[in-house]
């Protein structure tokens, strides 16, 4: 054979090897999990549960960052409703009131040596337009029962979870069930405005008591119908971490003057260049989160997409370009940059001396507040634009926080939760994911390594639009199935043995944060561009 033949044979063998590697990785990509049998759930009257959710909706428990603005009568009325609806629960469980409106119920387990578990939700809701032309089919605080749904603010976010947790615990008490592990029910009152006085205070109290939790379940994910692209089956999204949060204030302060005689650099121009530079220099994107999530969906993912995800070493750049086109998937791939507020000027013929912009960042796990600050400082690269926290005196506070630790998916707790979901909702797929918003669960990561975010509700895109929007509603079927799920969860998770417990959570050290720069001298110069 001539030398060219040897070269061609070598290339052919290399190509065959490459194809075999790609195929092997593709076929080995899905996470393998044991099959589960459908759960034998108790008969639950979903309409009756929905009616009780409707009663809770009638209380306007609107959250405000300023505690003095809260209408305490609405929260106290809701608490009295709980006592009226669930007398046995209130006679057998210990109830504690935290910061006037948050609630912590303790259901003592038979084995105090085992770490407790905690189910949480929040009582507060966001405001709703109550005017006749608001577009609501039923008044937002009516809790009306109509067309197979309960309507109103909180039916999805998340008075439904509060009521269904109380329903589940009450049903178990009626059966004479005794949990092995102590069960906490924690209901904060200000999740919509940071959770600082509710969930954070409850977590602080438990930590001060030396409580190490084995399992925490909060909102954050749900069962999404036709939501994951190219996957037809409903997918139960289990949040295992959530992004961090930071808002920075960008400011310029230069000589103003008459608009007829503008200088080379104006306050608005400098600030606009800074914001444009941030949008043009996005944070690096990563595929790990989406790759991990899709690996749980197995063969439901189309073969070509699965092949790309299983072989990111070869197809990674191509896949990134495709996924970054969608804001939904892009948010799971990078720390996001969102200019949200711009203030400058008072008259059309006057050059303002000052301009101010607020830019919001949602941080990926692996990035820190310090990382974001330093990158923003580097990208802007002009001393005439100063940085400061949008709220508060420090970057990391109740107004800014780092991403939560990632809860393990190889823990007994996650595996049990995953199996419960698939048994209660036959035919539903499950997948871990990154919560791109914020929940109260972040306050419990310091005392619980297994903190998950999932509400057992089947949601369409139309249902999703009702969360913080108009015509928020919950179906009778969802209400009944939620109670069944929580009954199963309380039974199964509370019965886990000591082998499921993990070593105590180590305290996360405070991140060193940069000192804020003093106001610069007003030396006008062009904005530096990357």
Do the domain assignments include residue 527?
Answer: no
Query: How many whole angstroms separate alpha carbon 368 and alpha carbon 170?
Result: 42
- Which of 459, 497, 462, 491 minimizes the C-alpha distance to 477? 459
What does the pLDDT average to over 382-407? 90
191 is catalytic: yes
What does the pLDDT average to over 36-57? 95
Beta strand extents in 330-467 (DSSP E only): 336-344, 350-351, 354-363, 385-389, 429-435, 451-453, 458-459
Mean pLDDT of the chain: 90
Q: 307 pLDDT band (50/70/90 cuts)?
A: confident
Query: How many whole angstroms separate alpha carbon 322 and alpha carbon 330?
Result: 10
Taking 50 as the threshold, does the pLDDT of residue 524 lie above it? no
Query: How many whole angstroms separate alpha carbon 388 and alpha carbon 394?
Result: 8
Out of 115, 124, 190, 371, pick the active-site residue: 124
Q: 10 pLDDT band (50/70/90 cuts)?
A: confident
Do the domain assignments include residue 282?
Answer: no
pLDDT in tens, 362-389: 999 999 999 999 999 999 987 889 999 9
Residue 238 β-bridge partners: 432
Q: What is the 3-state secondary structure (H, E, C) of 352-377?
A: CCEEEEEEEEEECCCCCHHHHHHHHH
Query: How many whole angstroms separate alpha carbon 139 and alpha carbon 135?
Result: 9
The CA dihedral of 420, 230, 473, 174, to the nearest 10 degrees, is -10
Q: Are 369 and 402 in contact (CB under 8 A)?
A: yes
Burial code of 314-339, b = ≥16 C-beta within 10 A, e = fewer?
A: ebbeebbeebeeeeebbbbbbbbbeb
Out of 160, 191, 382, 463, pick the active-site residue: 191
Query: Could you list the residue range(s) of the whole structural domain that residue 468 is in?
Result: 49-240+407-500
Taking 70 as the threshold, does the pLDDT of residue 35 lie above it? yes
Q: 170 pLDDT band (50/70/90 cuts)?
A: very high
Taking 90 as the threshold, does the pLDDT of residue 98 lie above it? yes
- pLDDT, residue 240, reads 96
Looking at the chain, the whole-number percentage of residues with pLDDT higher than 70 is: 95
Do the domain assignments include residue 470?
Answer: yes
CB burial of residue 270 (10 Å; 0-12, 13-18, 19+):
buried
Q: 429 pLDDT band (50/70/90 cuts)?
A: very high
* 125 SS3 class: strand
Query: How many whole angstroms separate alpha carbon 413 and alpha carbon 418?
Result: 9
- pLDDT, residue 520, reads 36
> N- to C-terminal Cα distance for the chain?
55
175 vs 9 pLDDT, higher one: 175
- Which of 432, 429, 426 minimizes the C-alpha distance to 414? 432
Do the domain assignments include residue 107?
Answer: yes
Do the domain assignments include residue 510?
Answer: no
CATH code, domain with 91: 3.40.630.10
Rounded alpha-carbon distances, angstroms, from residue 434 to 151, 166, 335: 29, 28, 12
Do the domain assignments include residue 84?
Answer: yes
Do the domain assignments include residue 336?
Answer: no
- pLDDT, residue 394, reads 86
Task: At 471, list the tokens.
Answer: 């015509």
pLDDT in tens, 308-320: 888 888 888 888 9
Taking 50 as the threshold, does the pLDDT of residue 282 lie above it? yes
**How many separate helices (H) and strands (E) can be counted in the chain?**
15, 19
What does the pLDDT average to over 73-88? 98
354 vs 382 pLDDT, higher one: 354
Do the domain assignments include residue 27?
Answer: no
- pLDDT, residue 511, reads 35
- pLDDT, residue 1, reads 65
Name the least confident of 141-150, 279-288, 306-315, 446-455: 306-315
pTM summary value: 0.90
Q: 67 pLDDT band (50/70/90 cuts)?
A: confident
Task: At 193, list the tokens.
Answer: 């405005």
Task: At 329, list the tokens.
Answer: 């998937």
How many structural domains does the chain have? 1
pLDDT in tens, 122-144: 999 999 999 999 999 999 999 99
């Amino acid at each position: 054979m001539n030398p060219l033949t040897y070269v061609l044979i070598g290339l052919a063998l290399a190509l065959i090897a490459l194809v075999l590697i790609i195929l092997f990785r593709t076929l080995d990509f899905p996470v393998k999990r044991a099959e589960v049998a459908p759960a034998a759930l108790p008969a639950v009257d979903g309409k009756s549960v929905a009616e009780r959710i409707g009663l809770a909706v009638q209380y306007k428990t609107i959250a405000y960052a300023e505690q003095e603005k809260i209408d305490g009568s609405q929260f106290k009325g809701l608490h009295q409703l709980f006592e009226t609806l669930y007398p046995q629960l209130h006679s057998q469980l210990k109830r504690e009131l935290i910061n006037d409106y948050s609630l912590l119920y303790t259901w003592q387990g038979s084995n105090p040596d085992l770490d407790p578990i905690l189910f949480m939700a929040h009582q507060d809701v966001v405001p709703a337009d109550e005017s006749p032309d608001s577009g609501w089919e039923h008044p937002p605080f009516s809790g009306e029962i109509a067309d197979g749904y309960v309507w109103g603010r909180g039916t999805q976010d998340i008075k439904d979870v509060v009521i269904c947790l109380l329903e589940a615990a009450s049903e178990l008490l009626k059966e004479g069930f005794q949990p092995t592990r102590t069960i906490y029910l924690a209901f904060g009152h200000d999740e919509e405005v940071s959770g600082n006085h509710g969930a954070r205070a409850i977590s602080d109290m438990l930590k001060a008591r030396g409580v190490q939790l084995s399992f925490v379940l909060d909102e954050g994910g749900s069962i999404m119908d036709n939501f994951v692209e190219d996957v037809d089956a409903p997918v139960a999204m289990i949040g295992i971490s959530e992004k961090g949060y930071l808002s920075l204030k960008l400011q310029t302060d230069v000589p103003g003057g008459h608009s007829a005689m503008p200088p080379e650099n104006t306050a608005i121009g400098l600030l606009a260049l800074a914001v444009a530079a941030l949008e043009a220099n996005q944070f690096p994107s990563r595929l790990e989160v989406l790759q991990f999530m899709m690996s749980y969906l197995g063969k439901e993912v189309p073969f070509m997409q699965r092949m790309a995800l299983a072989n990111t070493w070869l197809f990674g750049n191509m896949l990134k370009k495709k996924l970054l086109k969608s804001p939904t998937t892009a948010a799971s791939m990078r720390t996001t940059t969102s200019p949200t507020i711009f203030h400058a000027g008072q008259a059309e013929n006057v050059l303002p001396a000052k301009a101010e912009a607020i830019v919001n960042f949602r941080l990926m796990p692996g990035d820190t507040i310090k990382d974001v600050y330093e990158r923003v400082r580097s990208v802007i690269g002009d001393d005439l634009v100063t940085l400061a926290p949008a709220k508060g005196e420090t970057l990391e506070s109740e107004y800014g926080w780092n991403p939560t630790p990632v809860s393990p998916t190889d823990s007994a707790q996650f595996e049990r939760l995953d199996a419960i979901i698939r048994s209660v909702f036959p035919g539903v797929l499950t997948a871990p994911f990154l919560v791109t918003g914020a929940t109260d669960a972040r306050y419990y990561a310091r005392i619980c390594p297994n903190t998950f975010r999932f509400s057992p509700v089947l949601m369409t895109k139309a249902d999703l639009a009702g969360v913080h929007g108009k015509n928020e509603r919950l179906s009778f079927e969802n209400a009944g199935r939620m109670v069944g799920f929580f009954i199963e969860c309380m039974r199964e998770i509370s019965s886990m043995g000591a082998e499921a417990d993990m070593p105590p959570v180590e305290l996360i050290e405070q991140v060193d944060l940069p000192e804020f720069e003093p106001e610069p001298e007003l030396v006008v110069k062009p904005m530096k561009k990357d």
